[in-house]
């Protein structure tokens, strides 16, 4: 029979990892840096033993930090502004504080997550912020978590909030095909680890299939939901000696659309006459681009607000379950080829 996690001590962790108690203490409290090899070993052992440091256990029991956390892998594009607005509005109304931290995949074997049971009462985890095994560990110790733009891994019950991706992407691509006659459509893929990107690719493929257009893997370009990466990726595509003819670009998200528009103009493409360009999210700048961007309106601020409300529901011992999928909407402007009249602001 396995030892219950509540009775696991720092001594048990030290013994199983083959290090001193002082080394485990230094690792937990971040007082002195330990080697990457030891850090990885300790992280593995702590997850395996389901060990919670005493301070974390006290916070988990008392809920007295009055702090919630938001963990994500990056904060570098405009998408996060409305998301944070939604989160912060609820946190402020509840009289709590918010800690925001990034946790990069290449550091996961060296350091534990910067926020968690040791310094927050509960946590919002955006997209690929944590690995499945890390999520399972937090669930096993009863730490409140809500996933944002990410459904829970198999056999792990974590409430989540996301948006509809597949059907709306299919509708967007079908608009290019059926209304504008576009048949050679590039897709700027987001990060491979992000669920939104994978679902949007599924919608893209479905639209091609249902309209009798063969899928061509050469038309998939890595854009990473980032304007600079998308710009460089499309330039590399265009610089190829035998680059493929195309008549539209689905940029994956609006931020990448900024880089795509720049690269196309650098090669003297007319938009939308030569190439249609469409995005996803309907960020604040989308209607101000030249031409105004046809895109998908995702309720990003509402996602942040609802996810945070659900987290506080967990903190208040309410039964919060399942994945909430918010509806999305096609917003037609001029970048696809449609006529568009700018609304008065």
Euclidean distance between CA atoms 156 and 147, whole angstroms: 12
| Backbone phi and psi for residue 127, each to the nearest 5 degrees, phi listed first | 45, -115
Q: Is 31 a residue whose pLDDT tops 90?
A: no
* Averaged confidence pLDDT in the chain: 89
Mean pLDDT calculated for residue range 45-64: 65
Pairwise CA distance, residues 60 & 118, whole Å: 8
345: pLDDT strictly greater than 70: no
End-to-end CA distance of the chain: 66
pLDDT in tens, 225-256: 999 999 999 999 999 866 779 999 999 999 99
pLDDT value at 87 more than 70: yes
Confidence of residue 265 (pLDDT cuts 50, 70, 90): very high
Nearest partner of 40 among 22, 27, 53, judged by Cα = 27
Mean of pLDDT values over 181-190: 97
pLDDT exceeds 80 at position 70: yes
Contacts of 174 (CB under 8 A, 6+ apart): 207, 210, 211
Distance set, CA 325 to CA 201, 243, 298 (Å): 18, 38, 11
pLDDT in tens, 292-306: 999 999 999 999 999
pLDDT of residue 61: 52
Among 150-159, 172-181, 324-333, the least confident range: 150-159
DSSP 190-206: --TT-HHHHHHHHHHHH
pLDDT band at 201 (very low <50, low <70, confident <90, very high): very high
CA gap 169, 188 in Å, rounded: 13
Report the alpha-carbon distance of residue 51 to residue 118 in Å, rounded.
12
In the chain, what are the domain boundaries? 14-41, 166-299
Say yes or no to pLDDT of 104 above 80: no
Statement: 166-299 belongs to CATH 1.10.510.10: no
H/E element, 332: none
Three-state secondary structure call for residue 292: coil
Q: Is the peptide bond before 306 cis (omega within 30 degrees of 0)?
A: no
Q: How confident is the model at residue 193 (pLDDT cuts 50, 70, 90)?
A: confident
pLDDT greater than 60 at residue 59: no
Whether 2 shows a pLDDT value over 50: the answer reads no
CA 167 to chain centre: 19
Query: Is 96 strand, coil or helix?
Result: coil
Query: What residue has token string 């997550």?
Result: 113
Return d(Cα 333, Cα 288) in angstroms, integer: 11
- 144 alpha-carbon distance from chain centroid: 19
pLDDT class for 287, splitting at 50, 70, 90?
very high
Q: Tell me which H or E stretch contains 69.
A: strand 67-72
Residues 330-343 have a mean pLDDT of 87
Alpha-carbon 155 to chain mean position: 21
Lowest model confidence (mean pLDDT) among 32-41, 104-113, 146-155, 278-287:
104-113
Helix, coil or strand: residue 335: coil
| Confidence at residue 29, expressed as pLDDT on a 0 to 100 scale | 65
């Amino acid at each position: 029979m396995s030892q219950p996690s509540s009775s696991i001590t720092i001594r048990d962790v030290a013994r199983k990892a083959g290090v001193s108690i002082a080394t485990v203490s230094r690792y937990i409290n971040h007082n002195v840096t330990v080697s990457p090899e030891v850090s990885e070993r300790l992280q593995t052992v702590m997850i395996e033993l389901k060990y919670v440091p005493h301070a974390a256990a006290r916070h988990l029991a008392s809920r007295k930090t009055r702090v919630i956390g938001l963990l994500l892998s990056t904060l570098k594009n405009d998408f996060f502004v409305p998301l944070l607005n939604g989160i912060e509005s609820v946190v402020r109304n509840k009289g709590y504080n918010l800690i925001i931290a990034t946790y990069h995949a290449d550091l996961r074997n060296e350091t534990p997550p910067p926020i968690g049971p040791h310094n927050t009462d509960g946590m919002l985890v955006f997209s690929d912020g944590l690995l499945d095994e890390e999520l399972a560990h937090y669930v096993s110790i009863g730490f409140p978590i809500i996933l944002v733009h990410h459904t829970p891994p198999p056999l792990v019950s974590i409430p989540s909030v996301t948006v509809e991706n597949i059907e709306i992407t299919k509708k967007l691509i079908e608009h290019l095909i059926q209304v504008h006659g576009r048949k050679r459509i590039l897709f700027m893929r987001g990060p491979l680890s992000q669920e939104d990107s994978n679902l949007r690719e599924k919608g893209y493929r479905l639209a091609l299939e249902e309209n009798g257009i063969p899928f061509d893997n050469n038309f998939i370009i890595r854009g990473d939901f980032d304007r600079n990466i998308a710009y460089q990726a499309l330039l590399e595509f265009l610089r190829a000696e035998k680059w493929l003819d195309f008549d539209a670009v689905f940029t994956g998200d609006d931020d990448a659309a900024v880089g795509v528009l720049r690269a196309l103009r650098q090669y003297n493409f007319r938009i939308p006459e030569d190439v249609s360009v469409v995005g996803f999210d309907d960020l604040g700048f989308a209607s101000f681009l030249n031409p105004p961007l046809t895109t998908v309106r995702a309720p990003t601020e509402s996602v942040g607000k609802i996810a945070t409300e659900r987290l506080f529901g967990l903190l208040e011992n309410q039964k919060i379950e399942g994945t909430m999928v918010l509806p999305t909407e096609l917003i037609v402007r001029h970048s696809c080829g449609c006529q568009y009249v700018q609304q008065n602001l």
